[in-house]
Structure 1
Amino acid sequence: MAFNRPVGRKRRREPYNVDIKLVEIYEDLASEKDEIRLRAAQGLVSQFTPDKSPAEEQIKKTLQRLFRGLCSSRKAARIGFSIALTEVLTQVFSVARESSEFGVADVLNIWESQSNATGSETGQEQRDHHFGRLFGAEAIIKSGILFQPSTPFAEWTKVLDLILDLAHKKTWLREECGWIIYRCVYDLSARQMDATFVEAAVERVCSYELARSPEGVAVWLAVKDMFPTAELPAKVWKHDDPLDPKERGNLAKIMKESSAEENDGENKGSKSSGVWNSKLHFAWDAVISRTSVKDASSKTKTKSKSSRLSFVDFWTEVVDNGLFASSSSDERKYWGFLLFHKILNEGSLQQANHIFTKNLVRCLTNQLAVEDRYLHRMAAKAAKAIQIRVSKEPIFAAVAVRGLMGSNGVVNFDQVTKTKTVEKLVADANSEALTEIVPLFETLLKNPGTTDEKAAASNRQFVAGIMLNIVRAKAATGNAESDEDYQSVLEQILFIFVRFAYFMDSTPEPALTQATQELLRNRINSALNSLLASRKYAATIPYAVVRQIRDGAKSKEYGKFIINIDDKLDESVKTAFKSLKKLSSKEKKEENPSIAAFKLLYSLTVLQVYSGDADAVSMLDELEFCYGKFMGEENNSEDTSDASDALVEILLSFASKQSQLFRRMSEQVFGAFADQVTENGLESLISILEAKESLAGQQEMFDDQGDGDEDDDEDEEDDVEMVDAEDLDSDVEVVSGGDASESESDEEEDDDEGEEENEENAAEIAEFEAKLAAALGTHRADQDPNASDSDSDADMNDDEMEEVDEKLANVFRARHQAASQVKDKKDARENMVNFKNRVLDLLEIFVKKCHSRLLAMDLLLPLLRLARRSTVKQIANKANSVLREYTKLCKGNAIPKISGDDNAPEAVWELLRAIHKEAGHSGPPAHTTACSQASLLVVKVLVAHDKAAIADVVDVYAATRKGQLMSSKCHIQPSFFTDWNNWCVSASKQLKN
């Protein structure tokens, strides 16, 4: 049976009008886009202008909706509704509303009721209401309705009470509440309001026990500045000023927001918010902006009661001894770094000059040193901020370096922190900053901040390295368009090196070790090496350095000169300085590369003398001979061949040293005199290319006969150029042939060589063991399994023991000599490879400057042989590179021309045949290409001299082709003839004309 259920009827809704446009406005006020919010606010405010005469009910409803919107956490509602509320209030009360019963009191009631948290809400809803009250107060104050003549003064005090009551109850909102009152002080000043308003504000702040809080300090200072005649509560601050010097201790506790338990005595009333904020409190700006930078060196202080805490005293007491005290929490140190960062970004140079205080720098150093420390990222940001300030204001580098490495810092800051902070700072410093930095470094070299000898040496090494970095950074300005002239700074740095490197100065504590002095001498070479790359400083500073050494040795200003100079050497040095003086005079009158080259060569040769190089003495005499021929009064251009040859030998002496400085110097000087190199001089260079890359080759070149003499610059750290060991060990296959069979053959040879080496090592070990066994009168157990141990237990008398000792000594002495010979061979090979590299550099300069000289063709065959024979890939490639550059330059009118000498054409023909013979040797593919380039260059020279020579050239190529077909010893590659055929096609038209 079915039952019918009664059907309920829907209740009819009361009809009402919905203002769609108004709904959209309120929605847009919460938009995250600024332009949408502003457009919505403008649309709402336009309805409440005086000409629209809005009804009181409309005003009331709108204000209720706006105040309620401030309590919303949706999107950007508080920002949009706050703007609209401020403008609506301004429009509504912009004219007197005598007939209206709706006044400011009603606005405050709506604000209070809409933002009141009853306690039944959730935690988030309560927070939203608190923020709504805060934003509402700000909007009401900004609208200015509280300061109209018709508004009762009690309304102002009511707003203050509501704000401060919120700050008192909700400490996490105290800063925002204080900010509203702080900014209101400036607003009242701009409106030129009566001081009673700010007096009431300060009185309320004190009544809520917030005077001794960061907010209270900021408000008090603002009122003192904006309303000097205002009557403020007595006995709150000494002399009614939070910045009175006697309040520094209390101010430090207040600004770091110490808890009530930490405070004592007269600071008992200070209040802590109890909440840590990662952002810097606005009160810091209020305080810092009202401190002045006084001259710290001035001993006269004003005793006036109105005198305020200086920035220096404030920073030392409040920031350094407060936030950065050893007992401070990481959170307070975090604030300290924010302040440090703030002054770096915004502070004046006078302020920034005083922020590198002891506790701060110590904290910065410690936090930078370890990555997993809590404040490491803040410290890294601070270090970056220092660099940014210096990049924008280079003079600040002096302040920063002095702060990080001076009395409040650590000498080896970069080493301790594992950063390059100081290194980057000095690189960006200008000349004015460097004039302050360099004397600091001199002081640190003299007194490195420790009495421990090892630590002192380490600190001095670091300082010297930073000084060298300055030279390297500023030397480059000599080749750039720069308004800065670093000549005096660079000389000052090198003079400091000279002082501590060459003299027994008694003032350093502890005394400099010989190793440190050697290090500083190497730093001089490294600095000069960088300066030689500069056109601006290359010809002046090296001379200034040796002159400084000479003057110091004469005056003994820095103590005893460490180099012993006998009368003969002293006379040679004096003669050299006379020549240098003449060169300097000539340099002022004319610009001549030869003058600068001789001046540089003289200076560095004298420097070698001062460094104790015995060979430098003879070089001075040879140099004097060259100077007389090239630059002397009896200069005869037709009689300079001997001088040119001698000059080449001098440059080779420098080039043989494993030093970048002498390599660069030899290149510069050689470039100035390359066009005067003779056949003998070129032969001296070629002979080095043809020497073996071995101990025998070194003995042949240097005639040292294994005497063990080492290069004076062998121990240099920055200036030494060493050949990569990998090049010496792994690139031996460069001698392999062009086809697969030859490559396999060479690989087999390499394997055989490896096996032979292993066998040789095994034989040496076996021989050593045999000698050792013979000396001991024993044998290896595996060689005599039936041997008895009874003999080993036999007693020996003293004579027999002495005999065994002597035999053992001989065995180990022989073993040591064998190991030493292996090392000598390796070192000799490295030296020869280095020397050949330097000579190839010189030859590259020669072909660039003298490629049109017929003499340059003497290089073709030696370069080809070197590219084929060298077991070092680097050398082979470089030889090919020089030859490729040479043939590339010889084009058009730059092709060498055969002179009128009857023997010259035949010599060129012999060269062509020799090149073809060289091309027939087995070598890498690059060797064939080089031979082809060299051959075609010689062909161009012959044809340019006589077109008829082409017939004989064809015969030479035909003979080479015949050799390729008929002889198994001719390994010439097909590409050799391909290049020839291509040249014939391009040259045929010219040959027929």
Structure 2
Amino acid sequence: MAPLSKKRRLELGNVDTKLVEIYEDLASEKDEIRLKAAQGLVSQFTPDKNPADDQIQKVLQRLFRGLCSSRKAARIGFSIALTEVLTQIFSSTRDAAQFGLSDALKMWEVQSNATGGESGQEQRDHHFGRLFGAEAIIKSAVLFQPSVPFTEWTKVLDLVFDLAQKKPWIREECGWIIYRCVYDLSARQVDGKFVDAALERLCSHDLARSPEGIAIWLATKDMFPNANFPGKVWKHDDPLDTKERNNLSKIMKESSSGESEGDSKANNAKSSGVWNSKLHFAWDAVLSRASDTSSSKSKHSKSSRLSFVEFWTEAVDNGLFASASSDERKYWGFLLLVRVLNDGTPQQASHVFTKNLVRCLMNQLAVEDRYLNRMAVKASKAIQGRVSKEPGFAAAAVHGLMGTGGAINFDQATKTKTIEKTVAEASQTALQEIVPLFEQLIQRPGTTDDKTAASHRQVLAGLLLAIVRSKASSEDDYQGTMEQILSIFVRFGYFLDSGEGKATPEPALAQSTQELFRNRINSCLNSLIVTRKYAATLPYAVVRQIREAVKSGEHGKFTIVMDDKLQESVKTSFKALKKLSSKEKKGETSGTAAFKLLYSMTILQVYSGDADAVSMLDELEFCYTKFMGDSDTKKGDTSDASDALVEILLSFASKQSQLFRRMSEQVFSAFADQVTENGLESLISILEAKESLAGQQEMFEEQDEDGEEEDGSDDDDDDDDVEMVNAEEVDSDVEVVDADGASDASASDEEEEEEEDEEDAQEVLDFEAKLAAALGTHRADEDLQAAESDSDADMNDDEMEELDAQLVKVFRARREVTSQHKDKKDARENMVNFKNRVLDLVEIFIKKCHSRLLALDLLLPLLRLARRSSVKQIANKATSVLREYTRLCKGTAVPKIEDAEEEQNVWELLRAVHKEAAHSAPPAHASACSQASLLVVKALVAHDKAAIGGVVDAYAETRKAQLCSTKCHVQPAFFSEWNNWCVSASKQLKN
């Protein structure tokens, strides 16, 4: 027997070691380790293992003790194991003499009892041990077996509610256990007495009118509608009854100051006394049951339940977001806002933008260092996230943030782009609500101050423009929305007051605001004409809206004064537009859209008060008759019409507006193949003009005494459609070329700048001299030995008047000099801008017509521009266009020479290119000359292989000049690239 006894002790020792490992793993921070350990422990206590009472006692005691441990994740692991062990042990009938459930509950109560002699942390650990133990016992469902005395359930309830009442910091967790238990009881279909006991204990512990009590009550009302609800707690036994609105709000924000006369102690709102950064689970319980519609009837009682709007307004807006609320309660409010925005129904999410909430959101977003700024930013992102996921929500968001409870300048006040991003994401359905809202706000901006109203209207105009820009390239059809937005700009931009049946804007629109709206039309069209589906239709829609409104008077008085002749020109143009629309419907699209766009934009210029647009209409009529007229109205040669069309496009291109640049490019692209030599010369003349006031006067035929410049820009300064060339940028790009061709600009430009500097210095000296003469004084450095002047002597009235007159003359002369300097600077910017536009047109012509012999006429102007321009950007762009030209002319795609005269002209061009290459210039210019020369060579050789001899002679002459002449600065690359071409072309020439 001795060996047997020894062996048994070894086995028991092994089991103890294994249990120690299991208990250690139950406290692991890794879920998989904890679950594996719990599985290993539970497997030892299945009914088929028939565990002994001492084993059960030991393991339960160890598990209950583990619940009171604060080590790692012990509570979680031990709670899971305890739940399963209790289920395995007590789910089957056991002998009454054995260790029973009552014994287990006593053990739990003893192990988790804090006697008072422990430290504060140890007491907290015991309280949590009781909480987790109660959760494990309830989840195991052993209390709800028929064989278990009902008193055991009530004992557990008492222990849980006692803990919740005595320790407010743990009250929410205690309530959560009972709240989830209600759902478990319903799923198990147990007797209703269990929930009746829970409700009775809830009230007896004075917790019914607490957030936890409300959640438990509502869960019971849903899962057990026939339960025995204690009386005199809630009106109609429903916390969401409309008559409980105020009490519910006070309870949910955990306010204990909301007692009303006659309330019993059990009905007082209980406060936990502890602020938690997490949202209480009771909010979800209430929000999920608040009706989306107003005051719907509850299915559980005769009461009328609070709607979501009523609850949100009372409990959240007037409660958490009240002006007197603490930052902590407002923090909860933001958590609720984010929760509803992320997970709420569309109806709920659309009603969260209440007055106090929006005000608090704006205040917190406005300053980064405010306590709730991060939460406000999170809420703002939640709004944008909801709109991205559900574009139709944009309408509710815009109404809420900008409507009655919000602010039109929400984005400006908060320094965010919340509204702008929201309208950009809006669906077509949402825009059908947003756009009319903006129109109403423009008409009534909610202020009587003119300056504030103008500011609000500017914001609204910017948001309408943002909608257009965001939807311009959309695959969906937003044409109706675009026309509606443009109609708003037309109404408020071109008409002074309201028409019949429409309210007058209050306050009245300022002239600057109307100009802003007109500029926004250009900005909208600038984005729209990029896409072909809107390029011709929407500009036409704008001018048609203006014309119809003028005729009908629906928007009131038209702001633009038009004489009879001008009205007749516009009338004729609209007839042409009508014919173009008919052609477009019939499928005749060749040039139709381009003319329709050009007509529309020209008429729009007329409506904007541009005097030059009137003559352009007549020229346009001539072009239309030649190109698009009926067969009996077309008159043979269209060269004159083509030249006139180029001039019209150049007049648009001269305007500092991106819209007119894009428009001129689109129309020019449609008619580039019909450009004549005269039309191309019009482009070349601009490229060769000086980038100065003299060049501008030459181009626009201005007189010095006029003092006015035709920059063609009628856009407002703040219009983002305007394209300006920064003067500082222009000056910084000036590049001068030295004798070796290394870097630097043309000598003439350098000399001009030096002369200007000298003139400036001389003008300053002249001004000082005149001023000194008028005052009768000397410059300090002119006459140091001069005797003291008697200028300090008193002067009579006549002498003072004479002095004033002299000073006026001196300063007037100074202003004139300053104005001249500004004129020079502006002229330089205008010419640089104009050349940029013309280079864009030249590039289009080259892409469309690089095989035409006429295109060769562009080589020399581009080369000269690359060498002469004092603006690096212009020079680079000229070489880039020429490089693109030579790239396109590959293989058989070279210009075709038809006769001897053309051949002779091309030979002259080759010699001119070589002469241009001899100039001192940057390396880019030398490379461009080489490419241009080889292009001409290709054209000559393609026409006649025998021309190669003359080409060789031309290169030989240039080489000779390089060797013998000090004025020839041909770069080595000019000849190396020629040699490379000879190698590649030799086989072709020998065949």
Q: TM-score, normalised by structure 1?
A: 0.95
Q: State the Cα distance separating 1:328 from its structure 2 match.
A: 0.4
Partner of 2:897: 898
Please state whether the residue corresponding to 2:533 is helix, strand or coil: coil
SS of the counterpart of 1:918? Answer: helix
User: 1 CA distance for matches of 2:299 and 2:772?
Assistant: 93
The alpha-carbon deviation at position 195 of structure 1 amounts to 1.5
The residue type paired with residue 836 of structure 2 is N
Amino acid at match of 2:164: A
Check conservation: 2:221, 2:300, Cα contact below 8 A.
no
Aligned-pair Cα RMSD in Å: 2.1
Query: Is 1:486 matched with 2:478?
Result: yes
What pairs with 1:329-348 in structure 2 (closer than 5 Å)?
329-348=326-345
The structure 1 residue matched to 2:355, chosen from 358, 361, 364, is: 358
- Once the two structures are TM-superposed, the CA of residue 987 in structure 1 deviates from its matched residue by 0.5
Letter in 2 for 1:969: K
Q: Which residue of 2 aligns with 1:17?
A: 13
- Residue aligning to 1:308: 305
Report if aligned partners of 2:727, 2:825 keep a CA contact under 8 Å in 1: no
CA 1:877–1:263: 2 relative to 1, 3 Å: farther
Alpha-carbon distance in 1 for matches of 2:638, 2:264: 91
18-27 or 503-512: bigger deviation: 18-27
The amino acid across from 2:619 in the alignment is E
Report the CA distance between 1:747 and its aligned residue: 10
Contact 1:727–1:874 (CA under 8 A) maintained in structure 2: no
Does structure 2 conserve the Cα–Cα contact (< 8 Å) formed by 1:735 and 1:869? no
Q: Does 1:520 align with 2:517?
A: yes
Other-structure match for 2:630: 633
C-alpha deviation, 1:159, in angstroms: 0.2
Deviation at 1:295, TM superposition (A): 5.0
Partner of 2:664: 666
Report how far residue 726 of structure 1 moved: 2.9
What pairs up with 1:13-412 in 2 under 5 angstroms? Answer: 17-19=13-15, 20-260=17-257, 266=263, 269-294=268-293, 305-412=302-409
2:720 is the alignment partner of 1:718 = yes
Instruction: Tell me how far apart the structure 2 counterparts of residues 854 and 335 of structure 1 sit (CA, whole Å).
Output: 76
The one-letter amino acid of 2:855's match is A
Aligned residue among 693, 696, 713 for 1:695: 693
Inter-CA distance 314–540: structure 2 relative to 1 (3 Å threshold): same
- 1:455 — aligned with what? 452
CA distance 1:303–1:44, change in 2 (3 Å): closer
**Is 2:746–2:868's contact at 8 Å kept on the other side of the alignment?**
no
Alignment match, 1:599 = 596
CA drift at 1:902: 2.7
3-state SS, counterpart of residue 328 of structure 1? coil
Which has the larger displacement, 939-948 or 237-246?
237-246
Q: Which letter maps to 2:378?
A: K
Q: Distance in 2 between matches of 1:737 and 1:241?
A: 97
Contact 2:411–2:419, Cα closer than 8 Å, also in 1: yes
**TM-aligned CA deviation for residue 535 of structure 1:** 1.6
1:583 is matched with: 580
Matched with 2:6 is none
**Structure 2: distance between partners of 1:753 and 1:581:** 53
Q: C-alpha separation between the residues in 2 aligned to 1:89 and 1:977?
A: 98
Aligned-partner SS, 1:894:
coil
Shift of 1:327: 0.5
> Are 2:927 and 2:974, in contact at CA under 8 Å, matched by a contact in 1?
yes
Whether the 8 Å CA contact 2:741–2:969 is kept in 1: the answer is: no
Q: 1:61-108 deviations in whole A, cap 9, x for unaligned?
A: 111111111111111111111111111111111211135432221111
| Residue 889, structure 1, aligned to residue 891, structure 2 | no
* 1:301, distance to aligned residue in structure 2 (A): 12
Could you tell me whether the CA contact under 8 Å between 2:526 and 2:662 is conserved in 1?
Answer: yes
Structure 2 residue identity aligned to 1:639 = D
- Larger CA deviation: 44-53 vs 415-424: 44-53
Give, in angstroms, the shift of residue 606 of structure 1.
0.4
Question: How is 1:460-609 mapped onto 2 (pairs within 5 angstroms)?
Answer: 460-477=457-474, 482=475, 484-506=476-498, 507-609=504-606
Query: For 1:568 and 1:275, how far apart are their aligned partners in 2?
Result: 82
Q: C-alpha offsets along residues 444-473 of structure 1, whole Å, 9 cap, x if unaligned?
A: 111122211111111111111111111111
Q: Can you list the C-alpha shifts for 1:691-724, whole angstroms capped at 9, x where unaligned?
A: 1111111011111224314534253421110012
Q: Structure 1 pair 123/871, CA: closer, same or farther in 2 (3 Å)?
A: same
What does 1:901-980 correspond to in 2, within 5 Å?
901-980=899-978
Q: Could you tell me how far apart the structure 1 residues matched to 2:248 and 2:563 are? A: 70
Q: Distance in 1 between matches of 2:346 and 2:264?
A: 34
Aligned equivalent of 2:729, options 727, 730, 749: 727
1:367/1:376 contact within 8 Å kept: yes
- In 2, are the aligned partners of 1:245 and 1:309 still within 8 Å (CA)? yes
Q: Distance in 1 between matches of 2:736 and 2:417?
A: 41
Secondary structure in structure 2 of the residue aligned to 1:558: coil
Q: CA deviation at 1:793?
A: 3.6
Paired residues of 1:734 and 1:870 also in contact (CA < 8 A): no
The CA distance in 2 between the partners of 1:753 and 1:689, in whole Å, is 19
Structure 2: runs of 5+ lacking an equivalent: 1-8, 499-503
Q: Does 1:656 align with 2:654?
A: yes
Distance 1:303 1:112, change over 3 A: closer
Quote how far apart the aligned CAs of 1:781 are: 5.0
The CA deviation at 1:804 is 2.5
Q: 1:421 to 1:40 in 2, by over 3 A?
A: same
CA distance in 2, matches of 1:144, 1:738: 98
Structure 2 CA distance for aligned equivalents of residues 886 and 756 of structure 1: 37
Letter paired with 1:831: N
Instruction: Return the offset for 1:574.
Output: 0.6
CA distance in 1, matches of 2:237, 2:578: 72
**8 Å Cα contact 2:483/2:538 also seen in 1:** yes
- Residue 608 of structure 1 aligns to a residue in which SS? helix
Which residue of 2 is the match for residue 11 of structure 1? none
Q: 1:878 to 1:160 in 2, by over 3 A?
A: same
Distance in 1 separating the partners of 2:763 and 2:697: 25
Query: Aligned partners of 1:403, 1:252: CA distance in 2, in Å?
Result: 22
The superposition leaves residues 803-845 of structure 1 with CA deviations (integer Å, 9 ceiling, x where unpaired) of 3332222111111110000000000111000000000000000
Q: Deviations over 1:864-892 (max 9, x none)?
A: 00000000001000100110000000011
Does the residue aligned with 1:774 lie in a helix, a strand or coil? Answer: helix
Partners of 1:713 and 1:720 within 8 A in 2: no
Name the SS of the counterpart of 2:507 in structure 1: coil
1:800 is displaced (CA, Å) by: 3.5
1:834, 1:351 → 2: CA distance?
54
Give, in angstroms, the shift of residue 394 of structure 1. Answer: 0.5
Structure 2 letter corresponding to 1:670: F
> Are the counterparts in 2 of residues 237 and 247 from structure 1 also a CA contact under 8 Å?
yes
**Does the 8 Å contact 2:749/2:870 carry over to 1?**
no
Instruction: After superposition, give the CA deviation of every residue in 1:174-200 in whole Å (9 maximum; x if it has no partner).
Output: 000000111111111111112111111
* Residue type of the alignment partner of 1:486: Y
Given the two structures, how large is their TM-score scaled by the length of structure 2?
A: 0.95
**Distance between the aligned counterparts of 2:163 and 2:987, measured in 1?**
102
Shift of 1:734: 4.7
**Amino-acid identity (%):** 75
2:980 matched residue in structure 1: 982
C-alpha distance in 1, partners of 2:746/2:786? 47
In structure 2, distance between residues paired with 1:929 and 1:663:
30
The 8 Å contact of residues 741 and 921 in structure 2, kept in 1 or not, is answered as no
Which letter maps to 1:485? D
Deviation at 1:922, TM superposition (A): 0.5
Structure 1 contact 737–924 (Cα < 8 Å) conserved? no
Change (3 A) 1:36 1:795: closer
Secondary structure, counterpart of 1:101 in structure 2: coil
Which shifted more, 518-527 or 711-720? Answer: 711-720
